[in-house]
Amino acid sequence: MIHGESMTVASWTFVAGTALPEHSHPHEQIALVVEGELELTIGGDLHVLRSGDAAVIPGGTPHSARAVTICRVMDTFHPVREDFR
């Protein structure tokens, strides 16, 4: 995790089949798939993201994800995720 003055950047590696249950937070989030394939549901809409694809998740919007393959994801949050410090 990298914490700046007004944002947090996180790097994750998920094994195939990893499920992230639906949740929400007040932070705006940008998810960038660096490698692999990720199913990302944002506000009930399913998006299939592959290497190089990104999605914007507005603050307060319910979202969930499932790694279709092993994948690496970079998430950027604004403002800082104090709960990740």
- Each of the 85 residues of the chain gets a pLDDT tens digit; together they read 999 999 999 999 999 999 999 999 999 999 999 999 999 999 999 999 999 999 999 999 999 999 999 999 999 999 999 999 9
DSSP 57: E
Report the pLDDT value the prediction gives residue 49, as an integer from 0 to 100.
98
Q: Is the pTM of this model over 0.85?
A: yes
E strand segments, 1-85: 2-3, 8-14, 19-23, 28-35, 37-42, 45-50, 54-57, 63-67, 71-78
Report the pLDDT value the prediction gives residue 15, as an integer from 0 to 100.
98
3-state secondary structure of 7: coil
Q: Please calculate the CA angle 10-12-18 and round it to the nearest 5 degrees.
A: 140
| Residue with the two structure tokens 């949050």 | 77
DSSP 49: E
Class of domain 2-84: mainly beta
